[in-house]
Amino acid sequence: MDYLPLHFNLKGRRCLLVGGGEIALRKADLLLQAGAHITVVALVVEAPLRALLQDAHHEIYVRSYATADIQGKSLVISATDNAQVNQQVAADANHLCIPVNVVDKPALCSVIFPAIVDRSPVVLSISTGGKSPVLTRMLRHLLESLVPTGLANLATYMGSRRDALKARIESPDDRRRHTEKFMASPGYQFAMENNYARADDYLNLPLAEVQTGEVFLVGAGPGDADLLTLKALQFMQLADIVLYDNLVSEQVLAKVRRDATKEYVGKIGGDTSTPQESINDKLVRLASAGYRVLRLKGGDPFIFGRGGEELESLVAAGIPFHIVPGITAASGCASYAGIPLTHRDYSQSVRFVTGHPKGGNVDLAWREFAHKNQTIVFYMGLGGLATIAAQLVLHGRDASTPVAVISNGTLPTQKVVIGNLADIVERVKTAQLQRPTLIIVGEVVSFRETLGMG
Ligand code: SAH
């Protein structure tokens, strides 16, 4: 190991910062976050740095660096572009064995700054030993997306309950087992969400009574895996079992934890191959058996997703659950096809409508949909497209109103067919579109051309 990582307690300790420009500003900002008292020495101190260090704990000297400046400092940072000054500062600090960092000059440093993922009190530091700042940054970005923001709440919670837990469970081994069980229980997620009272319901139980099962109802978005939310991704890493339906794309499924069990519970083309009843039962059964079950649904679980029904049975069985929204097909398909769903001049509202209602007939509020200045998005409408187009015209919507039918939206196989209410049925027939398809009706469809995507 080239460098030993240590986390430095700088609260109330004095640090020397040589330099007054932008890089010094960035370092000052970090030192401030750690509660340091800062002394700046520089020939020129720029306004933002002055503004940052207004507090009386800090000192600013506009003059050249002198060896005596080092005295009594816990940490020294040189952030000047003067090589001679940098050398001098490093030599002086090393002479007194004071940790020193010269920005971007690893050879002159006794300590280097890692990249940080800050979920204080949890702090992750990443270093490539000064070898590749770009690689360090890439790793930081990766961790930023994987490490939940709620970890800060969880760590604070564990800290606040530590003494009580010690008093209650004397043996360190038993305590560790108890904490591990808690971390595998729904209490973990409640603590992450700052709901400490519900977390206590799990932490305070005797070990044998801690139930671990729960359900995550997660929106998988319309297909492109990069449209997953960070939270969806985090739950996908946490789950033991995944129940997914046919709208969940392969690229999304590939992001699920590798050793999780994946089970398809989809429905194809409106046929009920897995009855909703049995999905609900299955969720309850698996969660009751102690598993973390991920119910992964295409788009957003609360938009034509029957997410509500699944939750009802969980509530009835007393199973804890969490809901993660997803990008719904209308948003995803519209964006990827270059169609704004609303437009100040042409469309003041947008409706999401099912083209496949419960009874089978497309029996909808046609009169309302026929008004101009609104966009209507039909989900599950391919089979009813002819009826939809005919009814809209019958109730007064202009036959020249543009229509887009988007198949496999956001995926590499995405296809967009454009027409109007009079000719869209014919055009879709010719194009032989694959399901899933989404229908967008409204003047906004023609903006696709303005955006150069027509
Ligand atoms: N909960 C989902 C919708 C489920 S209903 C959501 O929020 O998106 C299923 C319908 O969604 C399909 O019949 C189709 O109309 C639409 N849909 C979902 N994903 C789609 C995609 N990638 N491209 C086109 N339509 C899609």
pLDDT 10s digits, 219-245: 999 999 999 999 999 999 999 999 999
- Quote the percentage of the chain above a pLDDT of 90: 87
* Ligand 1 proximity of 441 Cβ (cutoff 6 Å): no
Give the contacts of 304 (CB within 8 A, at least 6 positions apart): 352, 354, 379, 380
Mean predicted confidence (pLDDT) in 293-300: 97
Ligand 1: centre distance to CA 410 (Å): 11
pLDDT number for residue 364: 85
* Ligand 1 proximity of 333 Cβ (cutoff 6 Å): yes
Neighbours of 128 (CB within 10 A): 18
pLDDT number for residue 271: 52
- Examine the pLDDT at 269 and tell me if it is beyond 50: no
Measured CA to CA, the distance from residue 407 to residue 429 in angstroms comes to 13
Of 335, 413, 438, 439, best ligand 1 pocket probe by most atoms within 8 Å of the beta carbon: 438
Q: C-alpha 294: how far from its chain's center?
A: 16
- Examine the pLDDT at 262 and tell me if it is beyond 50: yes
Kindly name the residue from 105, 255, 267, 415 that is annotated as catalytic. Answer: 267
Measured CA to CA, the distance from residue 214 to residue 216 in angstroms comes to 7
pLDDT number for residue 360: 59
* Ligand 1 proximity of 300 Cβ (cutoff 6 Å): yes
pLDDT number for residue 63: 97
- Quote the percentage of the chain above a pLDDT of 70: 97
Measured CA to CA, the distance from residue 161 to residue 181 in angstroms comes to 15
Please choose, from the candidates 238, 304, 275, the residue with its C-alpha nearest in 3D space to the C-alpha of residue 436.
304
pLDDT number for residue 450: 85
pLDDT number for residue 130: 84
Please choose, from the candidates 105, 111, 60, the residue with its C-alpha nearest in 3D space to the C-alpha of residue 85.
105
Mean predicted confidence (pLDDT) in 428-454: 92
Amino acid type, 136: T
pLDDT number for residue 168: 94
Q: C-alpha 101: how far from its chain's center?
A: 34
Under the banding of pLDDT at 50, 70 and 90, the label for residue 135 is very high
Strands (E), 339-412: 349-354, 374-379, 402-407
Residues forming a β-bridge with 407: 415, 437
Instruction: Tell me the two tokens of residue 77.
Output: 């940072």
pLDDT number for residue 247: 94
* Ligand 1 proximity of 249 Cβ (cutoff 6 Å): no
Mean predicted confidence (pLDDT) in 81-88: 96
Which residue has a Cα nearest atom 6 of ligand 1?
299
Residues forming a β-bridge with 439: 378, 405
The yes-or-no answer on residue 226 being catalytic is no
Strands (E), 184-272: 214-219, 241-244, 261-264
SS3 state at 204: coil
**DSSP secondary structure, 305-350, as one string:** S-HHHHHHHHHHHT--EEEE----HHHHHHHHHT--S-BTTTBSEE
Please choose, from the candidates 348, 333, 345, 309, the residue with its C-alpha nearest in 3D space to the C-alpha of residue 435.
333
> pLDDT tens-digit profile of 412-422?
999 999 999 99
Q: What is the mean pLDDT of the chain?
A: 93
> pLDDT tens-digit profile of 154-196?
999 999 999 999 999 999 999 999 999 999 999 999 999 999 9
Ligand 1: centre distance to CA 221 (Å): 9
pLDDT number for residue 211: 85
* Ligand 1 proximity of 410 Cβ (cutoff 6 Å): yes
Ligand 1: centre distance to CA 149 (Å): 30
Residue keyed to tokens 């007393």:
318
- Residue 322 vs residues 85, 122, 303, 307, 325: alpha-carbon distances, Å: 56, 23, 16, 11, 10
Kindly name the residue from 69, 224, 240, 245 that is annotated as catalytic. Answer: 245
Cβ-contact 267, 273 below 8 angstroms: yes
The yes-or-no answer on residue 267 being catalytic is yes
Neighbours of 115 (CB within 10 A): 19
* Ligand 1 proximity of 320 Cβ (cutoff 6 Å): no
SS3 state at 157: helix
* Ligand 1 proximity of 325 Cβ (cutoff 6 Å): no
Amino acid type, 335: S
Mean predicted confidence (pLDDT) in 317-339: 97
- Examine the pLDDT at 272 and tell me if it is beyond 60: no
pTM: 0.81
